[in-house]
Amino acid sequence: MALVLTTVNMKGGVGKTTLTVNLATCLAKNYGKRVLILDLDSQISATLSVIAPHDFAKIRKKRQTISYLIDKIIRPYINRKYATPDFIVPSVCDIPGLDLLPGDIELYDEYIISETLHKETANQDDLNFSQVWQDFEGTLIPNIIEPVLDDYDYILTDCAPGYNLLTRSGIVASDFYLLPARPEPLSLVGIQLLERRIAKLKKIHAPDIDLNLLGIVFILSGGLFSSRYYQQVIQRVEQDFDKSQVFENRIPMDVNVAKAVDMFTPVVVSAASSPGSKAFSKLTEEFLQKIAAIKGS
């Protein structure tokens, strides 16, 4: 059964998508793992990191994106013939084992969700709205991935910045979360706030979920700061967290990483010998060691 991981940080532009797609690609390409990328962000960055816009346009025209699957859960009274396996795009970037469940620029309609859940509450005397909402949040993404759990070694979920319904549901569906961050003071505040929110989420959905932080991945910012400054900030994080929860490998700023997006191919494929690519490969090695250590203990 797949291990499910979510890449999350409330802060935008910290490298969530880049980490998700490069880790997924390395797991498939370098280790022959079966990996599914799940795009839960309406910016569709993960989707467009591995397939070209015109291919996405064709998929969207046929409504073969996650948005159909979300709507199927929100409005179960509408008859639908497709399920999660029908929408998976196999072997993206020509890499066997690297699959994508495409995202969508319109993911869900909050009004329809509220209306449906309100109706559910009204029909059952002993239910209150917050309970119904929590149950919905706790089952939405788990229900979408359940039919394909046995098909993969890893399912990597890319989340939007912020902390929306899909992010929360994606976290609940996960065994671990990854936290990419820049070593900057405000970023550290963000990590602490997120940790508090996830602790609350775990409390609400316990005992159904066993969710842990696999690690913080530092994405080093460009030349403005000295490496000594980075070290000081990183040390502060290592004091707050268990050292094993901070990845030793860090991702340097590398223009090849940014350029890869233009080619709709992760840097570990488009510029395999670049510093960014090498850093992601080493990070993947460390990722697998962490997983093996947890499984073995």
Task: Enumerate binding residues for Mg ion (CB under 5 A).
Answer: 16-17, 45
Shortest reach from residue 123's CB to ligand ATP, in Å: 38
Please choose, from the candidates 217, 213, 72, 54, the residue with its C-alpha nearest in 3D space to the C-alpha of residue 146: 72
What distances in angstroms separate CA 228 from CA 106, 183, 231, one per listed residue?
43, 11, 5
Residues belonging to the chain: 297
Residue 16 in contact with ligand ATP, rule: CB under 6 A: yes
Q: Which of 2, 3, 4, 18 binds ligand ATP (CB under 6 A)?
A: 18
Nearer to Mg ion, 43 or 256 (CB): 43
Residue 15 in contact with ligand ATP, rule: CB under 6 A: yes
What distances in angstroms separate CA 168 from CA 182, 202, 271, one per listed residue?
22, 10, 34
Q: What is the dihedral of CA 95, 98, 101, 104, to 10 degrees?
A: -60
Nearer to Mg ion, 19 or 173 (CB): 19
Residue 275 in contact with ligand ATP, rule: CB under 6 A: no
Stretch that binds ligand ATP, among 32-40, 104-112, 113-121, 247-255 (CB under 6 A): 247-255
Contact of residue 175 among Mg ion, ligand ATP, none (CB under 5-8 Å per partner type): none
Pattern of binders to ligand ATP over 192-231, x per CB under 6 A?
A: ---------------------------x------------
Rg (CA), the chain: 19
Contact of residue 275 among ligand ATP, Mg ion, none (CB under 5-8 Å per partner type): none
Under 8 Å between Cβ of 137 and 168? yes
Is the N-terminal amide bond of 207 cis, ω within 30° of 0? yes
Handedness of CA 252, 255, 256, 261 (dihedral sign): positive
**Interface contacts to ligand ATP, rule CB under 6 A:** 12-18, 41, 43, 45, 161, 219, 251, 253-254, 257-258, 261, 276
